[in-house]
A and B are shown apart, each in its own frame.
Chain A
Amino acid sequence: MNILIYGASSRIAHECARLWARDGHALVLAGRSALRLEPVAADLRVLAASPESVRTLAWDLADEATLRQRFADEDARAGGFDLLLVAHGWLPEQAAAQRDPAVLRETVEANALSVAQICEAAAGVFEARRRGTIAVIGSVAGDRGRQSNYLYGASKGFVERYCQGLRNRLHAAGVAVVLVKPGPTDTPMARQLARPGRLADPRDVARDIVRAIDRRQAVVYTPGPWRWIMTVIRWIPERAFVRLKL
């Protein structure tokens, strides 16, 4: 496969890329910072059969004017992507996001807006080609708003609704949209959690993601039990939910 990963220096994306590199897939690692991407690329080149199959791409999605053309150019240069994995994200401190309008905006831009921007760019190309997979890393936090992280949660909730609609649109063209919802995972993003509780191993999460993409699943929770935990949490009536300290 030809794979484009946006946010490739994130821990979960890197672990996915390690699995793909070992299996001989060609990888384009994209993200805002070339400085962050290069060490990841070097790591993957050791695992890959040929070092040329891994390349990096510094790309700021805020550059809206060139975004669609840039995607089309990179797609052509790679010989057509089979898979786009959108893995970037930003977990703000909830208190800071409530206090500071700039943090709020950054939360929405990083987790919601930029995700839709790159997916729309890919959607047009994949739809015309009538094949491909778009996979997006959402979060269990998007399943229900909770006082402890509703701004992050709301931005991930947008991703869920967005993926739902995009999946519906692309179904006719045979393009799959996979939404991954990891539970709290042991990654640098979780460092600031005050009481992290039990964190999933990013390698296990990556295995689940790679399998879900192979199977073109619509929505996957990882680790698996989160599916049942979130089912219960979604079913709690709002009247009771508002009293909870979650």
Chain B
Amino acid sequence: MNATAPVRSWGLPGPFPHRLLQPASLDEVRLPVDDSWLPHGLGRSYGDVALNPGHTLLCTRWLDRYVSFDAATGLLECEAGLPLERIVDDLLPRGWFPAVVPGTLQVTVGGAIANDVHGKNHHAMGSFGDHVARFTLQRSDGSVLACSPTENPPWFAATIGGLGLTGLVTRAQLRLRPVASGWMRVAVQRFRGLDAFFALNAQAEAKHEYAVAWIDCLSGADGLRGVMLAGDHAEPAPGAPRFPPRPRRASVPFTPPMSLVTPWSLRAFNSAYFHRAPERAELLQPVWDYFWPLDRLADWNRIYGPRGLLQFQCVLPPAGAEAGVRELLRLLRAAGAGSFLAVLKTFGARPARGLLSFARAGLTLALDFPDTPRMRSLFAQLDACVAAAGGALYPAKDAAGSPALFRSAYPRWGEFQRYRDPGVASAFARRMEAA
């Protein structure tokens, strides 16, 4: 049952040694009493929120069974290690879909709760935690708490977005939403300039459930090249299967000795991406292509080479958003720091349920970079810029943010301490407390 193994996060290659507990079923779960531990799902968090180096990870990958599904209401109960991919594989063909999906399906339900993940429909549907009806929380002191908006509500609020620090979520109930098919009607439109983004985004959010923009972050604010992708669940095209099958997956077979992400490969990619997109078009896309294009390339993080990658995702409050993002784009351009998948989107005003939820009203920008000393120093500048704008970084993606920014962006961190499981620890929590 105990094994020591090197574990990496999605961005940080480590390897970080951990003792692994891998219960085969819920009845085998024994929370450690001799060591600090942390729940760990599929390890897709980019930074250190799912790491506990030198200590224990409680791996939930075999706690992945359905408990029940009510096909009349869409209420799904499952164990917390269930990957979202399985929910979509199994229940989309029956007309049900998670109300909020992140950019990869390779995350567990427990991980999606712990990071209160968001999707392209935040303005319409809020974040993942908004569709969690109930869950069971098991804690080091032996207690088992049923949590919902009406049962143990403070624990419910602390655990949604609580980064796994409140204990182990063993089972959860999710409210799925009905969909007509596995197809999306996607409105694609190219734009140039940040002003054009804001105008187009406001229209897209008013008309469409999902909206997100890809941008070329080397192009600066005024010349900003981007593509807006707004979508809605749709009926299939005549003759097309109502539920298209999941496409086959390729994989990056090994880690190349150096990062394949270089300034010129980025320029080439970004230019091709921009010019391949139609000026303006409406098309039908399978959900797989619209939501999770990167899931078609397993282990894509390997292209960043042995040093791994850093992700930067911030949210800037509406008042400071435009000035803030201009400054961020200026810093990126000055540093010549490009990113394959730079994403710009606005979050809606719905207040999150979690004490530490990331998604909040404002503009969010997500980028990834090779992890180099130069990028780390650029991150310090970006960090300062986010702080000046009153924004926040996303813990699920963070490996380099400062404790000071975290404290100011998550003012309920102090209140949150009351609900922490004293047996649980993570590298992220230690880093934020180091100050």
Residues of A near any B CB (own CB < 8 A): 9, 11, 22, 35-36, 39-40, 42-43, 45-47, 188, 191-192
Contacts and interface: CB of A to CB of B under 8 A. Distances in A.
Contact of B25 (A36, A46, A191): A36
Contacts of B79: 39
Nearest to A35: B27
Contact of A191 (B3, B27, B69): B3
Given A46-B90, A191-B3, A11 B65 contact: no
Nearest to A189: B24
Nearest to B1: A191
A191 B65 contact: no
A187 to B, nearest CB: 8
A233 B239 CA distance: 52
B339 interface: no
A150 to B, nearest CB: 23
A188 B22 contact: yes
Contact of B3 (A9, A22, A35, A192): A192
A198 B22 CA distance: 17
B26 interface: yes
Contacts of B69: 46
Given A11-B24, A42-B66, A45-B68, 14 more contacts: A35-B27, A36-B25, A39-B25, A39-B26, A42-B67, A42-B68, A43-B65, A46-B66, A46-B90, A47-B66, A188-B62, A191-B3, A191-B22, A192-B1
A40 B24 CA distance: 11
A9 B62 CA distance: 12
Size class of the contact patch on chain B: 10 to 19
Nearest to A10: B24
Contacts of B67: 39, 42-43, 46
Interface string B65-96: 11111000000100100000000001000000
A119 B62 CA distance: 29
A11 B62 contact: yes
25 contacts: A11-B24, A11-B62, A36-B25, A39-B25, A39-B26, A39-B27, A40-B65, A42-B65, A42-B66, A42-B68, A43-B66, A43-B67, A45-B66, A45-B68, A46-B66, A46-B67, A46-B68, A46-B69, A46-B76, A188-B22, A188-B24, A191-B1, A191-B3, A191-B22, A192-B1
A43 B69 CA distance: 9
Nearest to A22: B90
Contacts of A22: 90
A195 to B, nearest CB: 10
Nearest to B28: A188
Contacts of A35: 27
B85 to A, nearest CB: 11
A47 B1 contact: no
Contacts of A191: 1, 3, 22
Contacts of A42: 65-68
Contacts of A40: 65
A36 B25 CA distance: 8
Contacts of B65: 39-40, 42-43
A35 B1 CA distance: 19
A46 B66 CA distance: 7
> What 9 pairs between A and B have smallest CB-CB spacing?
A188-B24, A43-B65, A46-B66, A46-B69, A43-B66, A39-B65, A42-B67, A191-B22, A35-B27
A42 B69 CA distance: 10
Contacts of A39: 25-27, 65, 67, 79
A9 B68 contact: no
B176 to A, nearest CB: 12
B246 to A, nearest CB: 13
A28 B373 CA distance: 58
Contacts of A188: 22, 24, 62
A29 B22 CA distance: 23
| B22, B25, B26 interface centre (most CB from chain A within 10 Å) | B25
Nearest to A191: B22
| B1, B3, B76 interface centre (most CB from chain A within 10 Å) | B3
A169 to B, nearest CB: 35
Interface in B1-20: 1, 3
A47 B27 contact: no
A36 B65 CA distance: 12
A40 to B, nearest CB: 7
Contacts of A45: 66, 68
Contacts of B3: 191-192
Nearest to B90: A47
B25 A9 contact: yes
Interface string B54-69: 0000000010011111
Interface in B243-257: none
B81 to A, nearest CB: 12
A36 B27 contact: yes
A151 B285 CA distance: 54
A107 to B, nearest CB: 19
A22 B66 CA distance: 14
Contacts of B90: 22, 46-47
A9 B66 CA distance: 14
Contacts of B76: 46
Contacts of B22: 188, 191
Interface string B115-158: 00000000000000000000000000000000000000000000
